[in-house]
Amino acid sequence: MYETLADFLVRPAPFSVSTTELLWTDPHIADEMLRFHLDETSDLASRRASAIDAFVGWLDRRFPLAGAAITDLGCGPGLYTSRYAKRGALVTGLDFSANSLAYASKAAKAANFPIDYRQADYLRDDLPGDQDVVTMIYGDFCAMAPNKRRLILDKIRAALKPNGVFVFDVFSTGMFENLREERIFENRLMGGFWAAGDYVGFKATFLYPSEAIGLDRYLIATPDRTFQVYNWMQYYTPAAIIEEVRAAAYSAVEIADFATGGSWRGGATAFAVIARP
């Protein structure tokens, strides 16, 4: 155990370890993730309904959704896809969480929305082609290593129609500036999020100021197993994300306020990116 704890406090190289799938494939954690996604009192996993409605509203005004083919990558329980379908879009939702997709499919059936939900890893599996719009929301782009970000940019560009758009959001360096390194050690860290029974949780936050990268690293010890989770996050200035997207052969990149679609005024908030092939 000493070696595990000693290693836990060592600062890893940025994006050197990936544990993303654990959040969505561990049955208990997947249930907790879904609960957080649907929690209207928290922005921990998803934005609240008012913010989602505002985003979908301006997206529809800018790129009319009625009759448009739109794919949401990392669709989760369908918070965005259901709103796209309500506005008449031809919607596909991709996610590798069977738990979230089951909820989304049930909700779509109840609302009579013909949404095509697919359990898939968008980094490994094929994307639907001939899309008018592809979306990826709530910092999913920021959680990927640089090579994976380039891979998904290439795949999305190939999936879009010539006049299509990729709309996503990124977390700003203003948000990074509010972060602090910390070490936490608690019984049942995060109130039972990590396991159904008793466990001890450790959290270490590492910051990489020169790269604007943050890491929340968790070590969870239950009576039966010990596991770690690495939550990486890349933070951006508008200039940095424009440069990265243009390097993937997109012809035009625009920065917008996530809630309004207008000009982003800076500060400690996420902002939207509109990229055209």
Spatial distance between the Cα atoms of 240 and 72, rounded to a whole number of angstroms: 24
pLDDT digits (tens, 9 = 90+) for 225-272: 999 999 999 999 999 999 999 999 999 999 999 999 999 999 999 999
- Residue 74 neighbours by CB under 8 Å, 6+ apart: 94, 95, 122, 136, 137, 138, 140
Helix (H, G, I), strand (E, B) or coil at 80: coil
pLDDT digits (tens, 9 = 90+) for 153-208: 999 999 999 999 999 999 999 999 999 999 999 999 999 999 999 999 999 999 99
- DSSP strand E in 112-180: where? 116-119, 131-136, 160-172
Rounded to two decimals, what is the model's pTM?
A: 0.94
pLDDT digits (tens, 9 = 90+) for 213-227: 999 999 999 999 999
Beta-strand relationship, 213-221 and 226-236: antiparallel
pLDDT at 42: 64
Spatial distance between the Cα atoms of 277 and 270, rounded to a whole number of angstroms: 23
In the chain, the amino acid numbered 104 is A
23-32, 142-151, 170-179: the lowest-pLDDT one: 23-32
Contact 68, 59 (CB under 8 A): no
- Residue 191 neighbours by CB under 8 Å, 6+ apart: none
Measured CA angle at 234 (ends 231, 236), to 5 deg: 155
List of domains in the chain = 37-172+235-276 (3.40.50.150)
The tokens for 4 are 């595990």
Q: Please, which pLDDT band fits residue 43 given cuts at 50, 70 and 90?
A: low
